[in-house]
Amino acid sequence: MAMDKTFDAGSAEPRIYAKWEAAGAFKAGANAKPDAETFTIMLPPPNVTGFLHVGHAFNHTLMDILMRWKRMQGFDTLWQPGLDHAGIATQLVVEKQLAELGEKRTDYSREDFIAKIWEWKAISGGTIQEQDKRIGAGMDWDRSAFTMDDTFHDAVIKVFVDMYNKGFIYRGKRLVNWDPHFETAISDLEVENIEKDGHMWHFKYPLAGGATYDYVEKDEDGNVTLRETRDYIAIATTRPETMLGDGAVAVHPTDERYAPIVGMLCEIPVGPKAQRRLIPIITDEYPEKDFGSGAVKITGAHDFNDYQVAKRAGIPMYNLMDTKAAMRADGKPYVEEAAIAQAIANGEQTFDEAMIAAMNMVPEEFRGLDRFEARKAVIDAITAEGLAVMVEGPPNEDGEVCMAPEMIPYVESKKIMQPFGDRSKVVIEPMLTDQWYVDTAQIVEPALDAVREGRTKIMPESGEKVYFHWLENIEPWCISRQLWWGHQIPVWTAQVPTLSGEVGSWKVNVGDEISRAKAKKFLDNDRLDEKAMGGRLTQGGLLTMEFCAASLEEAQEQIAEVWLARTGQKPSLFSEINTDPGDWYLNYGHSPEGKGIPMWRDPDVLDTWFSSGLWPFGTLGWPNDTPELAKYFPGDVLITGQDILFFWVARMMMMSNAVMDEDPFHTVYLHQLMRDAKGEKMSKTRGNVIDPLVMVDEYGADALRFTMGQMAALGGVLKISEDRIKGYRNFGTKLWNAFSFAEHYEIPNSGNHTLPKAEQTLNKWIIGETAKVRETVDAALETYRFNDAANALYAFTWGKVCDWYLEFSKPILQGEDAAAKAETEATLRWVLDQALIMLHPIMPFITEELWGLADSRDTLLVTADWPTYTAADLVDAEADREMNWVINLIDSVRSARAQSHVPAGAKVPLVVMGLDAKGQSAWDNNSALIQRIARIETLNHVDAFPKGCVTIPMEGGTFGLPLAGLIDVPAEIARLEKSVTKLGKELGGLRGRLNNPKFVESAPEEVIAEARENLALREEEEAQLKAAIARLAELG
RNA sequence: GGGUGAUUAGCUCAGUUGGUAGAGCGCUUCCUUUACACGGAAGAUGUCGGGAGUUCGAGCCUCUCAUCACCCA
């Protein structure tokens, strides 16, 4: 049966993949030797909304290479697949679908909306898993996990409850990154800072009571450059709309310009004139003297830097915006709010966080405006009032200097870093809200130690530095999201009686340091002692307590116990409510009897990364004690993009140590983002996206995979181009043709090809080369140098097997020596088999197809055994040297022929001068193939070369091609002289080194020996060349 | 502003404890020779970003400058 001309990837790949699946080749433990070590890789779960892009293709290919390699080596392997529920991304997809029907999320109940998402998932989710099969990824699909599965949900809730009980999780009012589009908090990592064109406005804050001071500016030498009397302090801001929430103006403590007015009050120049708020001028290290005016307005609730300043100085933080980042429209009239605020600023009234949070400092004229509209309105109002700092406008168009230049407001145009939501692409608003946090400081140490102590290795090493830098400065992790799709936080709040039996309102702020410590004590000792918790009763008449539990029932049990302890009666009726407890009391009054005890669950869901942090063990059935968990946890290698080192890798490290008390894997292989051939990020707008599936259609999965492997240099930039993929498709065809060569020569293909006992130099040589490449490939894969493995296999297959071995075998295969022929046939089949085996992890499809051409095989290639022979066993040094000599001679003859324009087909005679015994035997052993490949007619021994002879210097003798008439003497002299010049440089270097006593003293012996040997060889070659030039010169 | 990395052939990139530079693609010339034109043969191209230092010896180590990229402010 004749082979097809090329491998038809399009039709073969699905057929082969189906065969693998049918054979259970990807199941955990396939091809495992008895009592084998395990090798586990957890697939970084793609978003359930995801499609296979080139980054996945790269990432998954590397994992598949390792898995296939380890499986063939007989490890007990598991490649665990799965999908991430991807909170925002998934909710967004379904909301978009609703929008097409003219519906909104809020048209549905939470339950109904979540049901819609599950519906969507059943139909469209997880497309990527089918796409993964196209690139040959062999995962244990039956084990595919989903971060919203019931068992996974159990794991998430259990971890939350445990961590809560250990005091690792707390709720607090903090400044968070608020996404006004999705109306949820997001983590720092989900914010992209992008530099945009922006403006900086300069405004005057008048000093209270019309006070004035001497404002003096000096240059570097202390000379006065400006002196004027001012009744204001100028501030510069990029966000005028937040002026309404200012709590102070800060200057640097060493700033002499403002020293006279520190401690004084100034007026926020916006809002109704009668209620202008006065705020203090304070000092803080934060303002930079040279930036803007050197004075910074402090708006603690809407800026991260200001937040720190405000916390340090006890400045109130007024929240100005609603969840859509529009100016607040709730609360009391501005007049009343402003009066209270003023009392606070004057120190006449105490305040607490909750009180400040409730106050709306937005004057009526701005209420309800979008933040950007509000910005314009504020600027206009201030400018109209003459409180903008003014500067001279640009000259008139005719360029003449006017007598009275027009004065315009001072607005600097500059680049401003602005935070954007990575999903929503809208400007993130810092907002002061109640959120849940993981106190990462408490769980970070084991994760740091793992890497510090080398238990977990990050590759490339630079990743470790980045890892340390981030984890050593880690911020609390905000884990609550105001979404519907996700794991809802398992915390209920319920009404409980006070110890004295009365009903009061008791709010514990576990966010601040003191009460958190107390809270921990409380948890350790007595759940019921609210005094230990540092709680305090307020006037509201409602006492509530927080209950963290794995289920509603457990929460109710906890609540009931509190009631039992305090009232002596255990209640059994509960009333789940969704509204604010205050509203509940409006409805039911203060008597819960008959209605049940009011309780409500925190509506927020957990950050997606909280659940994916549990991936390494959640996928194996934890918290259940499954055999898989015992066997495959902890895993071995994590392969993932550098971009999620913090998002995911660091969190898995922390969570795994916190929950399992073990590191989740011993090696983290980080790679960069996949870029296009020019190094640009791929994006739809740029139009430079390479679709891996299109590449698979065009060139086959193997070509794409080989390209991926070949690119995967540690720490390297990943630039992919179609030309490259095409090149490796050609490589596949080359391999294919090696087999069609074997078919053509009718070499038996039993399928049972064992290592032959070789007598022929040629066969000894290629067997040795095979052993060398096996060692190279294993060494490369052991150290995750996929590129080295791929390149070694490419060079072996094409450069050794196809270019030389197959060519060399032709005379034997067509020759009369039956023993030599049989040996060569057996060797050839064995070598080709080895190539298939070693190439299989990178190019699984074509190798499996070629493997299947044999008459019979014990197994599919995917579960064939990986070789273990070594170069030490199989390399025959003598055969090695001889074949290299032969290859060298052929190369030189070919080169000389081409230089002299000898027709390719013409056979020419060869002469040799002074051939030594070794050279003679090398020639004798291989004359047939040298003559065939180099197209040599005869070899004659001569004492002197004839006239017009091209010289070929070789070790052990000088060969010559007598080409009288054909040879261009001056050109040949030029060619030889060029070689001599090149040699001269090398000789110079070698002699320089060897003549340097310090080199001989300090260099290692083998280096010196090598240099000496090299020098001798080069000198011999130089002598041969010079003699040749001399002969030619006589001719000319 | 802080951090990390990069700068090597026309292009894209390798180069593993310092021993004197490689691959693929592209390019030039020749060849349809019985595995393969998705091929074969031959060939050209680099003071390894600049400068300084350590060393017998530096693409590799140190310092410095320049440019670029990414991450974090």
Query: Using alpha carbons only, what angle is made at residue A472 by residues A469 and A476, rounded to the nearest 5 degrees?
Result: 115
State the pLDDT confidence band at A396, using cuts at 50, 70 and 90.
low
Highest mean pLDDT among A298-302, A491-495, A922-926: A922-926
pLDDT for residue A296: 84
Overall average pLDDT of the A369-382 stretch: 85
**Residues A30/A31/A33/A39 CA torsion (nearest 10 deg):** -60
Report which residue is nearest nucleotide B69 when distances run from CA to C1'.
Answer: A679
Q: Which long-range contacts (CB under 8 A, 24 or more apart) does A792-800 make?
A: A793/A835, A793/A838, A793/A839, A793/A842, A794/A706, A794/A710, A794/A731, A796/A769, A796/A770, A796/A835, A797/A731, A797/A734, A797/A735, A797/A738, A797/A835, A797/A839, A798/A731, A798/A734, A800/A766, A800/A769, A800/A773
Overall average pLDDT of the A12-31 stretch: 94
- Residue A777 CA distance to nucleotide B12 C1' (Å): 23
pLDDT for residue A401: 53
Report which residue is nearest nucleotide B34 when distances run from CA to C1'.
Answer: A744
**Residues A43/A47/A49/A55 CA torsion (nearest 10 deg):** -70
pLDDT for residue A736: 95
Overall average pLDDT of the A466-485 stretch: 82
Percentage of chain A surpassing pLDDT 90? 25
Nearest nt to the CA of A1003 via C1' is: B56
State the pLDDT confidence band at A394, using cuts at 50, 70 and 90.
low
pLDDT for residue A498: 58
Percentage of chain A surpassing pLDDT 70? 89
Tokens describing residue A651: 């969190």
Written as one letter, the residue type at A980 is: V
Nearest nt to the CA of A735 via C1' is: B36
pLDDT for A317-353, tens place per residue?
888 888 888 888 887 888 888 888 778 777 777 776 6
- Residue A643 CA distance to nucleotide B70 C1' (Å): 10
Nearest nt to the CA of A475 via C1' is: B72
Report which residue is nearest nucleotide B20 when distances run from CA to C1'.
Answer: A989
- Residue A461 CA distance to nucleotide B62 C1' (Å): 20
- Residue A779 CA distance to nucleotide B45 C1' (Å): 33
Q: At what angle do helices A9-22 and A844-851 cross, to 10 degrees?
A: 80
Nearest nt to the CA of A734 via C1' is: B36
- Residue A990 CA distance to nucleotide B57 C1' (Å): 11
CB A249 within 8 A of CB A281: yes
- Residue A189 CA distance to nucleotide B72 C1' (Å): 10
Report which residue is nearest nucleotide B33 when distances run from CA to C1'.
Answer: A905
Overall average pLDDT of the A1013-1022 stretch: 82
pLDDT for A73-108, tens place per residue?
999 999 999 998 888 888 888 888 888 888 888 888
Overall average pLDDT of the A874-885 stretch: 91
Report which residue is nearest nucleotide B39 when distances run from CA to C1'.
Answer: A734
pLDDT at A928 over 80: yes
- Residue A465 CA distance to nucleotide B63 C1' (Å): 21
pLDDT at A505 over 60: no
Q: Could you give the C-alpha distances from A83 to A134, A157, A330, in angstroms and in order? A: 17, 18, 42
pLDDT for residue A682: 66
Report which residue is nearest nucleotide B41 when distances run from CA to C1'.
Answer: A894
Residue where the block lists tokens 């050609």? A730
Nearest nt to the CA of A1002 via C1' is: B56
Pick the more confident residue, A90 or A813: A813
- Residue A982 CA distance to nucleotide B21 C1' (Å): 15
**What is the average pLDDT value for chain A, to the nearest integer?**
82
- Residue A708 CA distance to nucleotide B27 C1' (Å): 26
DSSP 8-state class, residue A345: H
- Residue A13 CA distance to nucleotide B45 C1' (Å): 41
Report which residue is nearest nucleotide B18 when distances run from CA to C1'.
Answer: A1003
pLDDT at A889 over 50: yes
CB A137 within 8 A of CB A59: no
Report which residue is nearest nucleotide B1 when distances run from CA to C1'.
Answer: A288
Min mean pLDDT across A522-536, A585-599, A691-705, A779-793 is at A522-536
Could you tell me which residues come within 8 angstroms of residue A518 by beta carbon, excluding any fewer than 6 positions away?
A: A532, A533, A534
pLDDT at A249 over 80: yes
- Residue A642 CA distance to nucleotide B7 C1' (Å): 21
Distance separating alpha carbons of residues A919 and A735, to the nearest angstrom: 33
pLDDT at A1036 over 60: no
Report which residue is nearest nucleotide B73 when distances run from CA to C1'.
Answer: A193
Nearest nt to the CA of A743 via C1' is: B35
Highest mean pLDDT among A369-373, A633-637, A724-728: A633-637
- Residue A723 CA distance to nucleotide B9 C1' (Å): 18
Could you tell me which residues come within 8 angstroms of residue A136 by beta carbon, excluding any fewer than 6 positions away?
A: A13, A17, A64, A701, A702, A705, A844, A845
pLDDT for residue A579: 55
pLDDT at A418 over 50: yes
Distance separating alpha carbons of residues A487 and A484, to the nearest angstrom: 9
pLDDT at A423 over 80: no
Residue where the block lists tokens 């996928």? A619
Nearest nt to the CA of A890 via C1' is: B41
- Residue A978 CA distance to nucleotide B27 C1' (Å): 22
Overall average pLDDT of the A1023-1029 stretch: 83
pLDDT for residue A678: 61
State the pLDDT confidence band at A165, using cuts at 50, 70 and 90.
confident
- Residue A798 CA distance to nucleotide B70 C1' (Å): 37
Chain B nucleotides near the protein (CB, 7 A): 3-6, 11-16, 19-20, 23-26, 30-31, 33-36, 38-43, 55-57, 70-73
Report which residue is nearest nucleotide B24 when distances run from CA to C1'.
Answer: A724
Residue where the block lists tokens 């983290």? A668
pLDDT at A530 over 50: no
pLDDT for residue A620: 92
pLDDT for residue A594: 54
Overall average pLDDT of the A156-168 stretch: 90
Nearest nt to the CA of A470 via C1' is: B72
pLDDT for residue A180: 86
State the pLDDT confidence band at A275, using cuts at 50, 70 and 90.
confident
Overall average pLDDT of the A826-835 stretch: 95
pLDDT at A578 over 70: no
Overall average pLDDT of the A206-230 stretch: 82
Q: Could you give the C-alpha distances from A526 to A410, A503, A513, A565, A752, in angstroms and in order? A: 62, 20, 20, 11, 74
Report which residue is nearest nucleotide B35 when distances run from CA to C1'.
Answer: A741
Could you tell me which residues come within 8 angstroms of residue A163 by beta carbon, excluding any fewer than 6 positions away?
A: A169, A438, A443, A658
- Residue A800 CA distance to nucleotide B49 C1' (Å): 37
State the pLDDT confidence band at A499, using cuts at 50, 70 and 90.
low
Nearest nt to the CA of A992 via C1' is: B56
Nearest nt to the CA of A787 via C1' is: B14
Distance separating alpha carbons of residues A902 and A389, to the nearest angstrom: 87
pLDDT at A934 over 50: yes
Nearest nt to the CA of A1006 via C1' is: B19
Report which residue is nearest nucleotide B37 when distances run from CA to C1'.
Answer: A730
Tokens describing residue A339: 């009066």
Report which residue is nearest nucleotide B3 when distances run from CA to C1'.
Answer: A466
pLDDT for residue A315: 79
- Residue A1014 CA distance to nucleotide B46 C1' (Å): 24
CB A767 within 8 A of CB A832: no
H/E stretch holding A796 reads none
Closest Cα to residue A254, out of A196, A294, A312, A208? A294
- Residue A729 CA distance to nucleotide B70 C1' (Å): 32
Nearest nt to the CA of A713 via C1' is: B14
The predicted model scores a pTM of 0.82
Overall average pLDDT of the A751-767 stretch: 92
Task: Give chain A's radius of gyration (CA, Å).
Answer: 39
Distance separating alpha carbons of residues A952 and A908, to the nearest angstrom: 14
- Residue A736 CA distance to nucleotide B13 C1' (Å): 27
- Residue A618 CA distance to nucleotide B71 C1' (Å): 30
pLDDT for A687-738, tens place per residue?
667 788 988 998 999 999 998 888 887 766 677 778 888 888 999 999 999 9
Nearest nt to the CA of A460 via C1' is: B5
Residue where the block lists tokens 């450069």? A799
- Residue A305 CA distance to nucleotide B71 C1' (Å): 20
State the pLDDT confidence band at A796, using cuts at 50, 70 and 90.
very high
Overall average pLDDT of the A587-608 stretch: 70
- Residue A991 CA distance to nucleotide B61 C1' (Å): 25
DSSP reduced 3-state for A31: coil
* Runs of H (alpha helix) within A701-760: 701-711, 722-744
Written as one letter, the residue type at A680 is: E
Nearest nt to the CA of A715 via C1' is: B5
Nearest nt to the CA of A1000 via C1' is: B56
Overall average pLDDT of the A440-465 stretch: 83
Nearest nt to the CA of A785 via C1' is: B16
- Residue A710 CA distance to nucleotide B25 C1' (Å): 13
Overall average pLDDT of the A579-607 stretch: 64
The number of residues in chain A equals 1036
pLDDT for A988-1014, tens place per residue?
778 877 887 888 887 777 778 878 888
pLDDT at A974 over 60: yes
Min mean pLDDT across A51-65, A137-151, A349-363, A1017-1031 is at A349-363
Other CB atoms within 10 Å distance of the CB of residue A74? 18
CB A958 within 8 A of CB A913: yes
H/E stretch holding A196 reads strand A191-206
Nearest nt to the CA of A463 via C1' is: B4
* Residue A692: Cβ-neighbour burial (10 angstroms; 0-12, 13-18, 19+): buried
Report which residue is nearest nucleotide B14 when distances run from CA to C1'.
Answer: A713
State the pLDDT confidence band at A592, using cuts at 50, 70 and 90.
very low
Written as one letter, the residue type at A581 is: P
